[in-house]
Structures are given as structure tokens and as C-alpha cells.
């Protein structure tokens, strides 16, 4: 398979970067390499993905115990990234509450066509081993979207408060809450979208209100 042109920002780690940031960049480089190869057609092998990401096969295995998990992660990324990036980056508002709701709705709308892949990825994550590289098993893309949506709130919160808010939103965004609302509450995709939009607004509003009261 021919080598596909890459985005240079997703390859090498810069000097002095923290270990967690370095792991995230390496993992992102691997997933984005797989996405490019999938977009080019066919099903890439682990060796092809490693070559495209400019890492060793051993490094790929450190982050993804199975090629299946990597390819599902990459497929989900290819299906959802453009829609969700547009909702976050191209948002017309800087209000963190509005931006987080837009992010929530964008992720919920995408779920109907990719729910089966989300379920498969969660199964592989739960059944799999902790990556040898350490850190989270997946989810870097979700964290980046949340941090981007909350950009205007960062200066209003302490670092601890901001990180806690990001973690809280990780629970309310993505496949896990959508699956819970479908399986436990029997909601369809539209009803689940409304519930999660309500939940994320409430959490962000509470965090900002608490920070404002603390500053008085």
C-alpha cells in the first residue's frame, strides 16, 4: 500500500514534553496513520500502520493489544472527527456552556450510524489488557474536544477544578452514556441527545457558578 501524505503535527514528540503528553501524541499518530490508510482504501496491516506512523511495530502493540481495536478506533475517528471538529472549532460562540452542549449534540447525532462500532470498541477495551505504554486505554480525542470546548472557562477555574470538570464531562460524553440510556432507559437517539445536552449544561453551569461564588 502506498505511503499516504501525513499531517506533520501528528508525528514526532517535541523535546521536554511530559510523559503523558508524549504518550497521547504517539497514540494519536498511530490512530491518524490508520485513518489515512483506511481513507486510501483497503484494510491496512499492522506493519503498514507502523510504517505510516513512523513508529515500530512494537510501539503499536504497546498502545493497541489487537489490530482489531486499533482499526475500530480509527474507523470511529474517520466517521465522527469531521462532524465533531466542526462543532467545536467552528462554533459561533465562546460561551463554554453553549460550546459543550454543541459538542454533546454533535457526538450524540453521530452515534446512530456508529453505535455498533462503539459497542465493539468498548468490549475490546474492557476485555483487553492495560497498554504497555501506560495511561488511558483510549479517549484522547474525547479529552481534546472537551478541553477545546471549555477553553474560555479555563481562566475562571483553578487547575484542579478544570481537570475535574473535564473528567466529569468524559462520563457524560461518548459511547458509554449513549449505551446506558439506550439499554437501561430504553431511550432512542433523539431522546438520549436531549438528556445528555441537559446533563452537560448542568455540570458546566454548576462548576462556573461555584467558581464565581468562591471568588466573591
What the block records as the C-alpha cell of 197 is: 445536552
Q: pLDDT tens, 166-203?
A: 999 999 998 889 999 999 999 998 999 999 999 999 99
The highest-level CATH class for domain 1-63 is mainly alpha
Per-residue pLDDT of the chain in tens (216 residues, 90 and over written 9): 545 544 444 433 344 446 767 887 888 899 889 888 877 777 788 999 999 999 999 999 888 878 887 887 777 666 666 677 767 767 788 899 999 999 999 888 867 777 777 777 677 677 766 666 666 666 567 888 899 999 999 999 999 999 999 999 999 998 889 999 999 999 998 999 999 999 999 999 999 999 999 874
Rg (CA), the chain: 18
Q: Output the DSSP codes for 40-81.
A: TSS---HHHHHHHHTS-HHHHHHH-SSHHHHHHHHHHHHHHH
CA distance 171 to 213: 25
The answer to whether 139 and 20 have CB atoms below 8 angstroms apart is no
Domain boundaries along the sequence of the chain: 1-63, 69-215
CA distance 167 to 8: 29
3-state DSSP call for residue 133?
A: coil
The alpha carbon of 210 is separated from its chain's Cα centroid by a whole number of angstroms, namely 27
Cα dist. 30→1, 202, 206 in Å?
A: 16, 35, 37
Amino acid at each position: 500500500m502506498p505511503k499516504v501524505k501525513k499531517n506533520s503535527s501528528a508525528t514526532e514528540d517535541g523535546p521536554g514534553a511530559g510523559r503523558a503528553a508524549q504518550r497521547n501524541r504517539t497514540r494519536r499518530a498511530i490512530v491518524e496513520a490508520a485513518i489515512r490508510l483506511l481513507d486510501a482504501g483497503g484494510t491496512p496491516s499492522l506493519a503498514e500502520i507502523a510504517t505510516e506512523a513512523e513508529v515500530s511495530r512494537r510501539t503499536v502493540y504497546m498502545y493497541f493489544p489487537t489490530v482489531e481495536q486499533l482499526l475500530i478506533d480509527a474507523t470511529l475517528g474517520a466517521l465522527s472527527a469531521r462532524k465533531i471538529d466542526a462543532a467545536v472549532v467552528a462554533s459561533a460562540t465562546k460561551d463554554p456552556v453553549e460550546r459543550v452542549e454543541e459538542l454533546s449534540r454533535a457526538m450524540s447525532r453521530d452515534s446512530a450510524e456508529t453505535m455498533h462500532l462503539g459497542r465493539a470498541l468498548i468490549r475490546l477495551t474492557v476485555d483487553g489488557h492495560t497498554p504497555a505504554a501506560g495511561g488511558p486505554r483510549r479517549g484522547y480525542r474525547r479529552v481534546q474536544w472537551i478541553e477545546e470546548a471549555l477553553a474560555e472557562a479555563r481562566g475562571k477555574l483553578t487547575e484542579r477544578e478544570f481537570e475535574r470538570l473535564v473528567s466529569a464531562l468524559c462520563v457524560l460524553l461518548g459511547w458509554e452514556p449513549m449505551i446506558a440510556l439506550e439499554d437501561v432507559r430504553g431511550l432512542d437517539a433523539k431522546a438520549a441527545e436531549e438528556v445528555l445536552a441537559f446533563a452537560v449544561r448542568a455540570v458546566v453551569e454548576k462548576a462556573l457558578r461555584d467558581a464565581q461564588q468562591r471568588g466573591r
